[in-house]
Structure 1
Amino acid sequence: MPKVHPVMRKFLLAVTLIAVFLHFILHCILQKTSFNWVPTVNVDKIQIIETCFNQNFRFLLNMSDVEPFLCSDNFQQQNIIHGNNKFDLPYGVRKGERFFKVALSKLENCHLPAEVEKFPCKRCIVVGNGGILRNKTLGKKIDSYDIIIRMNDAPVIGYEQDVGRKTTFRLCYPESVFSDPIHYDPNTTVVLLTFKPHDVKWLSDLLQHRRASTIGFWRKPALKMIYPSTQVRILNPVILRKVAHEMLNFPLLFPKSKKPTHPTTGLIAIALALHVCNEVHIAGFKYNFTSQNSSLHYYGNETMSLMMENAYHNISAEQRLLGKFIENKTIINLTQD
């Protein structure tokens, strides 16, 4: 075995001593500040991760394989799989297929927006239009949620203190979509509810830059879409059908002598939230049925008498359903009192 040169021996000894010394110093530092060397864990994040597995509506009504919005590339396939082709509008696509195909071919996106997908655990709030929101100053609280869902042409401008500023999704139909550019929000995705063939034709005409007909609407629809096509989606009729038949137990067919009853946009918005979110809160869904003169909305001058006269919806049935959801904590109501 070759002999180690004395100079080399001294060098190795020195290196060894330095290594031992540095190890000792590092050990002392770690002992003194061990809590700073271990990555801190946010307890709130742990709690959020635990609630990530709450599938809400997907679990309740077997909706795990249902996309919330219609897509052009799998329109026919999804219709067959989920039975959309077996029902007329509004809970299917029959009598409007060709208009659906044209409209969807003009929509660049059909999935959840990227800014929504980025949240691993989605905390959502559905903001109703009820007069109970007046003077509640919930604006900052509402804006703190990951996803904020609103309905129809309920304004935020001028009401920010009570209802917030942000809007992730706005559910509407042709008669209730904003037409004034002052309400345009580049961060909002408009979700169109299709209740009749006229609704789908209206959208396909506007997306093709054609003049849309106003015939067949209960109120004059917008004649120009203030949102670009990238911000528009069409709600999958499966969700409407599940709400009507499985949540509200509406019959598949109404007698000819009885006017059909359909879910409100508010309840449909809650269903969408339960479908895509891990935690769902609501605000503005309580109404004062004891006084016909009480405020119907947080904006405008309409009173509860207008809702009581509306035969198109079953408000009592929806309030009972929401009461059950709140009781079993499927949703949390910020304006319960």
Structure 2
Amino acid sequence: MAALCFNNEICHRCCYLRTIKMKGNPGWKAITFFLIVMFCFGMCWFLHMELYMQRSYPSVHEMCIPGDAASKAEILISNYSRDHPVFLQLSDYFWVKNKSIYPLPYGTNGSEELLMKFLALTNHYQVPEEIRRLPCRRCVIVGNGHLLKNSLLGETINKYDVVIRLNNAPVHKYEKDVGNKTTMRLFYPESADFDPELDNNPDTLLVLVPFKPLDIQWMKIILNNEKRVRKGFWKMPPIIWEGEAENIRILNPYYMAVTAIQILESENMTAIPTTGMLAMTFALHFCDMVHIAGFGYPALTNKKQPIHYYEKVTMKSMAETGHNITLEAQAIKRLLQQGIISNLTYF
């Protein structure tokens, strides 16, 4: 109850004033205290839920305007273009007309030969036709934040045309809060420990975000069932992985470069974007309506609040990731304030 009360000044005053006035017969003291606690808890919960609902502004039923996200993104992103391929494809590396100037994760310089070997295994490089032919793409990016717990947003999330999920965030057992539709899942080897059957759909696109050449090599090894590599990862990726080759794509590193340089405004690209931040940049190039849900971290001083809806990991785990979450929070606020994206939860 304390957490709810202290999040709302009215609740705080109610609980405080009624408690300090509690005097009288000791026999009634315990009963009175119990009634006060229940009254305050009820008021705090009501106000907390009312505040939550007030902050849930956008709706999937909003009119989707073709090109709307693009017209807004052009204001923020210089040299904005939708001409860049969404996913890497084999033909790009047989005859390289515009060689990338950056190595991974911001470009493919130095990884061309490895990419050719991997892309030759998949033979699938496009977005599915049923998504490409949509006259207006309504997208939601489902973050992994603790805000989604008990949000009951599952049915709402399922109504979007494109549902983008991140890393190893589970769906099974959390359907009421996060839905069960997954159009794309952005991940990297260390975050590939999701259950392909329970947490994805049969046609879910498994989109690899390569942070280093070893990430592409891992995927090639998995598909070819070659000898596993155990060194070079900050966390051991799955040894056995059940992803289907026809559903696997590699996200164009162009979006990572745009995220670092234009969205985060990171000097010399020193801040490595999170998968969630990258997903927003991608969606601004791919979708016509971009909504987000479950983004935001607890305050840096809050050592006990879980950061994910599905586990009890706290902010301590973010200390050595290389991500600048303060910079990302500022970037997301700019996107929200300028109306470029909208939020199903609050930030």
> What interval of TM-score do these two structures reach, taking the shorter chain for normalisation?
0.7 to 0.9
What is residue 169 of structure 2 aligned with on the other side?
Answer: 154
Task: Compute the displacement of 1:152 (Å).
Answer: 0.3
- Look up the equivalent residue of 1:293 and give its one-letter code: K
1:306 is matched by which residue type in structure 2?
S
Secondary structure of 1:126 counterpart: strand
Change (3 A) 1:235 1:326: same
The one-letter code sitting in structure 2 at the alignment partner of 1:336 is: Y
**2:317 maps to which residue?**
306
- For 2:88 and 2:130, locate their aligned partners in 1 and report how far apart those are by CA, in whole Å: 19
Provide the C-alpha distance between the structure 1 equivalents of 2:302 and 2:281, rounded to a whole number of angstroms.
Answer: 28
2:92 aligns to what?
74
- Which position in structure 1 is the counterpart of 2:40? none
Other structure's SS at 2:302 match: coil
Contact 1:56/1:330 (8 A) holds in 2: no
Listed as ranges, the matches of 1:246-265 within 5 Å are 246-252=262-268, 260-265=270-275
Question: Whole-Å Cα distance in 1 between the matches of residues 290 and 194 of structure 2?
Answer: 29
| Equivalent in the alignment of 1:270 | 280
Determine the structure 2 residue equivalent to 1:200: 216
C-alpha contact 2:66 2:135 (8 A) present in aligned 1: no
How many Å apart are 1:248 and its aligned residue? 1.2
Check 1:303–1:242 CA distance in 2 against 1; reply closer, same or farther (3 A cut): same
| Change in 2 beyond 3 A, CA 1:331/1:201 | same
Task: Report if the CA contact (8 A) 2:82-2:286 is conserved.
Answer: no
> Please, what is the CA RMSD of the aligned residues?
2.2
Deviation at 1:159, TM superposition (A): 0.3
Q: Give 1:58 shift.
A: 6.3
Compare CA radii of gyration and give the structure with the larger one: 1
Q: 1:108 aligns with which of 123, 130, 155?
A: 123
**CA apart distance, 1:225:** 3.0
TM-score, with normalisation over the residues of structure 2? 0.76
Q: Measured at CA, do residues 199 and 335 of structure 1 come closer, stay the same or move farther in structure 2, by a change above 3 Å?
A: same
Superposed CA offset, 1:217-270 (max 9, x none): 1111122331111100001111111111121122336xxxxxx43000000111
CA distance in 2, matches of 1:210, 1:134: 39
Q: Which ranges of structure 1 fall in alignment gaps of 5 or more residues?
A: 1-43, 254-259
**8 A contact 1:179–1:222 mirrored in 2:** no
> In the alignment, what sits opposite 1:138?
153
Q: Equivalent of 1:283, from 276, 285, 293?
A: 293
Number of residue equivalences: 283
Which residue of structure 1 lines up, in the alignment, with residue 307 of structure 2? 296
- Cα 1:109–1:306 shift into 2, 3 Å: same
Matching residue within 56, 68, 82 for 1:64: 82
Shift in CA distance, 91/57, structure 1 to aligned 2, threshold 3 Å: farther
For residues 25-71 of structure 1, give each alpha carbon's deviation from its aligned partner in whole angstroms, at most 9, with x where no partner exists: xxxxxxxxxxxxxxxxxxx99943x4445425763342221011101
Counterpart mapping for 1:314-329 below 5 A: 314-329=324-339
Give, as a single letter, the amino acid of the residue that structure 1 aligns with 2:317.
L
Aligned to 2:345: 335
User: Alpha-carbon deviations, 1:48-100, whole Å to 9, x = none?
Assistant: 3x4445425763342221011101012355x643x52x212111123322211
Q: Relative to structure 1, is the Cα distance of residues 47 and 90 closer, same or farther in structure 2, using a 3 angstrom cutoff?
A: closer
Partner of 2:140: 125
Unaligned ranges ≥5, structure 2: 1-59
- Are 1:171 and 1:190, in contact at CA under 8 Å, matched by a contact in 2? yes
